[in-house]
């Protein structure tokens, strides 16, 4: 049985629940608004040697319960959407229990609370991306004017500015003159990330269980393909197969970050290449909203994810 | 939520910020068994999809209106530009709210945790068995 946690009316949560319903899978759902109220998590990790079955506990409802041993995998969208979080001690305790469950559950979890932290710092992720064999863009984080100017002037074209963390941001290209004009005298640069703009085709690869790679190419003239309409462009998403060495690099990267569902943003070099070191990885989304890609490119991400999370441990 | 309504409810990128805001549909009742819970979930999903259908229909009507106006007069173009600006403002506002919300929920906790070290990852792995 798959445990799903998140707000029922958050888009991706709803999309995955619908898939589970349509395919008649056994699932248990915990709406985060019930945590600390109608739903309590019981976790018991006794002293002793590691091994299967060490973590015991249950998901408790007022009149019934489901033991953790009945769960095969967990899909979490906790913290997404704009659900008002209850601030009671009980609710906060249950949120902490939920985070612990995501980290300690022995079966597959998409994704574990600690594994998702890597997206909080793109430079941190870049270490893992480079270790997996992919390229990263030339990057300057924050910095002083003394460092910014030679960085920007050495690039081919204006640099791209984007969030250094997992904050949502619209990727923009900014000129040296515009950046300089917006600066306040005597003030350091705001903590943004400046990068070389990479030319090529945007590819989003969803990796499930560090094994299954489902990729699509985004064909658009827009700099940020997620918001093409803001610059008067359109986007077309089309399923594609990655060259096997590149797919294998994506698997390595997912494994290194410990994420069972990754949304990896890649740039395929003009003319294509099967060498991972020719491909640039912009970031790894550790809580990817895969619905848009599934709906528009026909990738069976929900099915593959459900298969992965629904497989009993050890089988 | 029927297959038909799902197919009709294709989401565009500009819908995402608006639709990503949860809280329109109440949490489903937990009932007395997993089966009862799943029934309540299905009802909640149907309500959610219905809301999305309304938004989708409104968007289509808006798009058609824009095209007609654009084809007729320059004034129509001006109105469309204003509508696009309003849409952009709404999206920026949605992003701002989502970021504020996220910052409230995770900011300090995530910052305090810092980066995950290999040693920590190994320790977690050992705990899982």
pLDDT digits (tens, 9 = 90+) for A145-183: 777 778 888 888 887 877 777 776 667 777 777 777 777
Co-location of A125 and A246 in the same domain: yes
Residue A6 lies in a domain: yes
* Same structural domain, A243 and A300: yes
Position B21 scores a pLDDT of 54
Q: Please check whether residues A158 and A297 belong to one and the same domain.
A: no
| Cα–Cα nearest to A38, from A74, A86, A72, A2 | A86
Give me the residues of A, 60-99, that contact B with CB < 8 A: 61-64, 66, 79-85
Q: What is the mean pLDDT of residues B59-68?
A: 48
Is the pLDDT assigned to residue B63 strictly greater than 90? Answer: no
A220 and A87, same structural domain?
Answer: no
Q: Are residues A167 and A130 in the same domain?
A: no
pLDDT (0 to 100) of residue A28: 97
Phi-psi region of A220 (alpha: psi -120 to 50; beta: other; left: phi over 0): beta
Q: What is the secondary structure of chain B as a DSSP string?
A: --HHHHHHTPPPGGGHHHHT---SSPPPP--SSHHHHHHHHHHHHHHHHHHHHHHHHHHHHHHHHHHHHHHH-HHHHHHHHHHHHHHHHHHHHHHHHHHHHHIIIIIHHHHHH-PPPHHHHHHHHHHH-
The mean pLDDT value of chain A amounts to 87
Domain that holds residue A8: 2-107
On whether both A254 and A165 belong to a single domain, the answer is no
Is A126 found in the same domain as A93?
no
Last residue of a domain, one of A160, A178, A195: A195
**Boundary-marking domain end, from A178, A195, A212:** A195
Q: How many CB atoms lie within 10 A of CB A122?
A: 23
Q: Does B110 touch chain A (CB under 8 A)?
A: yes
Q: Is the pLDDT of residue A27 over 80?
A: yes
Residue A315 forms part of a structural domain: no
Alpha carbon of A277: minimum distance to chain B alpha carbons (Å): 24
pLDDT, tens digit (0-9, with 9 covering 90-100), for A30-68: 999 999 889 999 999 887 776 667 789 999 999 999 999
The residue among A111 and A192 whose pLDDT is bigger is A111
Set of chain B residues whose Cβ sits within 8 Å of the Cβ of A26: 34
User: B22 touching A, CB under 8 A?
Assistant: yes
Contact B32 A64 (CB under 8 A): yes
pLDDT (0 to 100) of residue A63: 96
Average pLDDT, chain B: 60
Structure ipTM: 0.82
The shortest C-alpha distance from A119 to chain B (Å) reads: 10
**Both A232 and A254 in a single domain?**
yes
Which of B20, B31, B110 is closest, CB to CB, to A11? Answer: B20
Q: Tell me what pLDDT residue B64 has.
A: 46
Q: Does A301 fall in a domain?
A: yes
Domain contains A188: yes
**For residue A232, what is the domain's CATH number?**
3.30.470.20
What does the alpha-carbon distance between residue B15 and residue B5 come to, in Å, rounded to a whole number?
Answer: 16
A-B Cβ pairs (cutoff 8 Å, strict): 156
CB < 8 Å from B in window 215-244 of A: 226-230, 235
Please judge whether B95 and A168 are an interchain contact, meaning their C-beta atoms are less than 8 angstroms apart.
yes
Residue A100 in domain = yes
pLDDT digits (tens, 9 = 90+) for A242-293: 999 999 999 999 999 999 999 999 999 999 999 999 999 999 999 998 988 9
**Closest residue in chain B to residue A85, using alpha carbons only:** B105
User: Looking at residue B88, what is its pLDDT?
Assistant: 61
Residues A93 and A217 placed together within one structural domain of the fold: no
pLDDT over 60 (residue A84): yes
Tell me, yes or no, whether A121 and A237 share the same domain: yes
Q: Do both A100 and A10 map to the same domain?
A: yes
Taking a contact as any Cβ pair under 8 Å apart, which residues of chain A between 242 and 261 contact chain B?
258
| Selected residues 85-104 of chain B with any CB under 8 Å from a CB in chain A | 88, 91, 95, 97-99, 101-103
Q: What is the pLDDT of residues A211-228, one digit of tens each?
A: 999 999 988 666 666 655
Residues A304 and A203 in one domain: yes
**Number of compact structural domains in chain A:** 3
């Amino acid at each position: 049985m798959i445990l799903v946690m998140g707000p029922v009316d958050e888009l991706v949560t709803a999309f995955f629940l619908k898939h589970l319903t349509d395919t008649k899978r056994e699932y248990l759902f915990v709406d985060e608004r019930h945590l600390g109220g109608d739903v309590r998590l019981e976790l018991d990790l006794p002293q002793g040697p590691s091994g299967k079955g060490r973590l015991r506990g249950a998901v408790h409802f007022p009149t019934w319960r489901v033991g953790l041993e009945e769960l095969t995998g967990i899909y979490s969208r906790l913290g997404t959407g704009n659900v008002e979080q209850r601030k009671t001690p009980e609710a906060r305790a249950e949120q902490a229990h939920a985070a612990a469950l995501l980290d300690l559950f022995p079966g597959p979890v998409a994704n574990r609370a600690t594994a998702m932290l890597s997206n909080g710092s793109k430079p941190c992720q870049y270490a893992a991306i480079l270790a997996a064999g992919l390229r990263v863009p030339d990057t300057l984080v924050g910095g002083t004017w003394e460092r910014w100017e030679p960085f920007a002037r050495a690039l081919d074209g204006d640099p791209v500015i984007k969030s250094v963390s997992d904050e949502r941001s619209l990727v923009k290209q900014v000129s040296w003159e515009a950046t300089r004009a917006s600066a306040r005298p005597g003030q350091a640069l705001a903590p943004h990330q400046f990068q070389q703009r990479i030319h090529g085709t945007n590819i989003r690869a969803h990796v499930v269980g560090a094994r299954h790679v489902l990729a699509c190419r985004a064909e658009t003239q827009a700099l940020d393909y997620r918001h093409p309409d803001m610059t008067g462009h359109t986007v077309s998403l089309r399923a594609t197969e990655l060259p096997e060495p590149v797919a294998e690099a994506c698997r390595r990267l997912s494994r290194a970050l410990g994420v069972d569902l990754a949304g990896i943003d890649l740039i395929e070099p003009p003319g294509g290449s099967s060498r991972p070191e020719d491909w640039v990885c912009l970031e790894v989304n550790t809580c990817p909203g895969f619905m848009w890609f599934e709906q528009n490119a026909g990738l069976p991400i929900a099915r593959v994810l459900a298969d992965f999370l629904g497989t009993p441990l050890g089988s | 939520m029927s297959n038909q309504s799902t197919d009709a409810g294709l989401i565009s990128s500009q819908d995402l910020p608006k639709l990503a805001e949860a809280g329109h549909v109440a949490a489903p009742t937990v009932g007395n068994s997993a089966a009862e819970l799943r029934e309540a979930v299905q009802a909640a999903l149907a309500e959610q999809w219905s809301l999305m259908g309304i938004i989708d229909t409104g968007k289509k009507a808006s798009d058609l209106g824009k095209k007609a106006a654009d084809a007729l007069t320059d004034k129509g173009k001006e109105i469309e530009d204003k509508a696009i600006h309003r849409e952009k403002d709404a999206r920026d506002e949605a992003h701002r709210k989502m970021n504020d919300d996220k910052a409230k929920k995770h900011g300090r906790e995530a910052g305090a945790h810092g980066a995950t070290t290999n040693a920590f990852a190994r320790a977690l792995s050992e705990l899982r068995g």
